[in-house]
């Protein structure tokens, strides 16, 4: 792809570095991945332009739920337009498929074991630095609008943002209760209507306020949608009631489907996150999926409104817009619903971006990128180099089609929660072709998949002699990464709330799954025991 030169506009452009200081210094505390009690230098990229940046995040948006991905019925014209006018990062992933850890990795550029936000209940550790704090130091006006979620019920303004609109916990799609409020720059304001639309209103208002300012701006628009319980806007309700939906083939509860797979996986079918007892209910997964798609339509509308506002302000060509989901979501794949595990539909997310001045449209990035790369990418757009302590790196050069030295794989972790004991601690290494996964504290089997040949992860290669060396190589690299990065200790937090640990008797509540076949032997193998 060729780089497109900038176009003129009547809007006051963000200025270059000019008289800005050449280095910005931050003093970091003794946080994992931070330099304790030492100055970290942030240098500008020579000759770089400080661009306006808009980052839009949706909750639980899986990678294939977009029209241009060939979806059988879902309509996402505005997402499709960004992919058409910009770049589709088709192999985008999260390093933990859970809301709060993923969002912390976006804001810090760090793996989960470093930022320590390991579940949805923990406050961000004191001293944590978010990349917008550097943007502020570089002269940006910054805004956070939407779901924060890191820290339970608090919605107080956080470091790095000049303008703040958020809500407690998961928030609410609709405000039937007068106690449903938003925190707007420290003031309690009643929620007026459908939350996706209302957050977009706040975003547009912030953008309009930047019209007369010379400083560049950064907008982080974080939607509640499409988190359960999926509630579409009134204008979209029932759109897909009669649509045809095909259940995933890996949902089948058959010996062939589970051959060679971990036994915890089959056990989980009859659980809070399984298709046989979903959320301990009689949930209709097909209807659930269709409502999910209907709720996503308002997110697409939101993207369209934001892009149209850029055009009104005359800054469409020069503004970097990035859209992604905070994690994937399963609707029956492997007999599961929800997320948390390392299977593709849980960890793979949509990611599209556009900036006509930086790269041509209809581009596709094949390399594996991750949520840890968002901060470095936005910092480059702001004319800043990536801080040395961050695990991620900017993917702007990939979007421009330049030859770039890129990672071979990324690390995925999920730490066991007593709240959801059916999902084990997971460590996984995902490369361009293979994915290796191991589980901590289980008497079970590891997994190895050739993603290129087997994108649905149907055939576990871990016991295949032809792949023994590859499995060992990935295992060694996984533990090397953890050891080098201080991730060998399992973080432990005191549980909060109840444990969703029930099973349904009619679905085999007393029955455990069989051991993986390669762990079962027909006769004794140690004949020398005395």
Residue 359 inside a domain? The answer is: yes
Beta bridge partners of 143: 163, 219
Average pLDDT of the segment spanning 127-131? 94
Question: E strand or H helix at 56, and its extent?
Answer: strand 53-58
Domain harbouring 362, CATH code? 3.40.720.10
pLDDT at position 154 is 85
For 149-173, write each residue's pLDDT tens digit.
887 678 999 999 999 999 999 999 9
Residue 18 inside a domain? The answer is: no
For 372-404, write each residue's pLDDT tens digit.
999 999 999 999 999 999 999 999 999 999 988
Residue 398 inside a domain? The answer is: yes
Domain that holds residue 68: 47-408
Q: Is the peptide bond before 8 cis (omega within 30 degrees of 0)?
A: no
pLDDT at position 497 is 81
Angle subtended at Cα 383 by Cα 380 and Cα 388, rounded to the nearest 5 degrees:
55
Position 139 pLDDT exceeds 80? yes
- Give the residue from 306, 274, 326, 22 showing the smallest Cα distance to 148: 326
Residue 487 inside a domain? The answer is: no
What is the number of alpha carbons within 13 Å of residue 328 lying toward its C-beta? 26
- Specify the pTM: 0.91
In three-state secondary structure terms, 301 is helix
Residue 372 inside a domain? The answer is: yes
pLDDT at position 126 is 86
The Cα–Cα gap between 97 and 212 comes to 40
The least confident of 97-106, 324-333, 486-495 is 486-495
pLDDT at position 508 is 87
Residue 427 inside a domain? The answer is: no
Confidence of residue 41 (pLDDT cuts 50, 70, 90): low
Q: Is the peptide bond before 281 cis (omega within 30 degrees of 0)?
A: no
Residue 357 inside a domain? The answer is: yes
The Cα–Cα gap between 129 and 282 comes to 43
Q: How far is CA 106 from the centre of its chain?
A: 8
- Give the residue from 54, 387, 383 showing the smallest Cα distance to 206: 54
Cα–Cα distances in angstroms (integers) from residue 136 to residues 130, 340, 384, 511, 512, in the given order: 11, 33, 12, 57, 54
Position 525 pLDDT exceeds 50? yes
Q: Is the CB of residue 87 less than 8 Å from the CB of residue 366? A: no
Position 14 pLDDT exceeds 80? no
Q: What are the CB-based long-range contacts (under 8 Å, 24+) for 308-316? A: 309/204, 309/207, 309/208, 310/54, 310/207, 313/11, 313/207, 313/208, 313/210, 313/211, 314/9, 314/10, 314/11, 315/9, 315/11, 315/13, 315/52, 316/356
pLDDT at position 459 is 97
Residue 212 inside a domain? The answer is: yes
The Cα–Cα gap between 429 and 413 comes to 9
Average pLDDT of the segment spanning 466-485? 96
Domains held by the chain: number: 1
């Amino acid at each position: 792809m060729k780089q497109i030169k900038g176009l003129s506009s009547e809007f006051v452009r963000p200025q270059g570095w000019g008289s800005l200081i050449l280095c910005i210094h931050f003093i970091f505390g003794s946080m994992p991945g931070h330099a304790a009690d030492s100055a970290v230098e942030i240098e500008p990229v020579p000759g770089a332009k400080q661009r306006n940046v808009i980052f839009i995040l949706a909750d639980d948006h899986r990678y294939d739920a977009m029209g241009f991905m060939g979806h059988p019925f879902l309509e996402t014209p505005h997402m499709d337009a960004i992919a058409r006018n910009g770049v589709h990062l088709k192999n985008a992933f999260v390093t933990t498929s859970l809301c709060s850890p993923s969002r912390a990795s976006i804001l810090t550029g760090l793996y989960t074991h470093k930022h320590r936000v390991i579940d949805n209940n923990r406050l961000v550790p004191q001293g944590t630095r978010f990349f917008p704090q550097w943007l502020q130091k570089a002269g940006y006006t910054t805004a956070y609008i939407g779901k924060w979620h890191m820290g339970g019920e608090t919605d107080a303004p956080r470091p790095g943002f000049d303008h703040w609109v958020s809500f407690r916990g998961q928030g609410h799609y609709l405000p039937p209760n007068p106690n449903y409020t938003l925190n707007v720059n420290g003031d309690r304001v009643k929620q007026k209507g459908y939350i996706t639309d209302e957050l977009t209103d706040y975003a547009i208002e912030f953008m309009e306020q930047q019209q007369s300012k010379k400083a560049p701006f950064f907008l982080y628009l974080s939607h509640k949608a499409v988190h359960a319980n999926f509630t579409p806007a009134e204008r979209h309700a029932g759109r897909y009631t009669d649509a045809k939906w095909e259940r995933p083939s890996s949902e089948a509860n058959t010996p062939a489907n589970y051959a060679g797979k971990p036994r915890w996986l089959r056990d989980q079918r009859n659980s809070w996150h399984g298709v046989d007892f979903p959320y301990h209910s009689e949930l209709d997964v097909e209807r659930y999926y269709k409502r999910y798609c209907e709720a996503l339509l308002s997110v697409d509308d939101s993207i369209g409104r934001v892009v149209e506002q850029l055009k009104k302000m005359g800054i469409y060509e020069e503004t970097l817009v990035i859209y992604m989901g905070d994690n994937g979501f399963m609707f029956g794949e492997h007999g599961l619903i929800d997320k948390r595990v390392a299977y593709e539909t849980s960890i793979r997310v949509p990611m599209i971006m556009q900036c006509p001045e930086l790269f041509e449209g209809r581009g596709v990035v094949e390399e594996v990128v991750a949520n840890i790369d968002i901060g470095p990418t936005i910092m480059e757009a702001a004319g800043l180099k990536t801080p040395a302590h961050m695990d991620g790196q900017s993917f702007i050069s990939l979007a421009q089609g330049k030859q770039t030295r890129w990672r071979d794989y990324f690390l995925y972790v999920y730490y066991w929660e007593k709240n959801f004991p059916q999902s084990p601690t997971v460590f996984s290494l995902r490369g361009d072709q293979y994915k290796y996964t191991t589980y901590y504290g289980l008497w079970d089997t590891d997994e190895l998949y050739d993603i290129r040949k087997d994108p649905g992860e149907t055939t576990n290669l871990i016991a295949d002699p032809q792949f023994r060396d590859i499995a060992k190589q990935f295992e060694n690299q996984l533990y090397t990464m953890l050891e080098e990065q201080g991730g060998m200790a399992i973080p432990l937090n005191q549980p909060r709330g109840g444990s969703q640990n029930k099973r349904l008797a009619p679905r085999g509540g007393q029955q455990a799954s069989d051991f993986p076949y390669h762990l079962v032997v027909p006769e004794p193998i140690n004949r020398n025991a005395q």
